Amino acid sequence: MNTALHTYVVFQLGLRHIPQTAVAAVAGVTPSMVNQVIRGKKKSDKVQDALVLALGFSSWTELLIASYRFQEIVLGIPKKEA
């Protein structure tokens, strides 16, 4: 599970009062699929695009980078090297 991504995306959606059901509706998938993508268990370009749009990023990569920075700076957890 990508904890950094999950924590960051859930936090950011909450700040914007955007439920995962709304992201699911935009992507045309189930809320469960959105949750699985956020948790890093599945990949879906449609869900990634909907999250990027909802959170105001220009790309999925940019969102991932922000999630790792959030983890390092706010939570004080360094990124694990591969």
Report field, pTM of the whole predicted structure over 0.75: yes
CB-CB contact of 1 with 10 (8 Å) = no
Among 55, 77, 58, 59, CA closest to 68: 77
Q: What is the pLDDT of residue 76?
A: 72
In the predicted structure, residue 82 carries a pLDDT above the cut 60: no
Q: What is the pLDDT of residue 25?
A: 97
Residue 16 CA from chain centroid, whole number: 13
* Cα torsion 16, 19, 20, 26: sign: negative
**Greater model confidence, 74 or 60:** 60
Q: What is the pLDDT of residue 1?
A: 64
User: Mind listing the pLDDT tens digit for each residue in 14-72?
Assistant: 999 999 999 999 999 999 999 999 999 999 999 999 999 999 999 999 999 999 898 88
Residue ranges of domains in the chain, CATH in brackets: 3-73 (1.10.260.40)
Residue 20 CA from chain centroid, whole number: 10
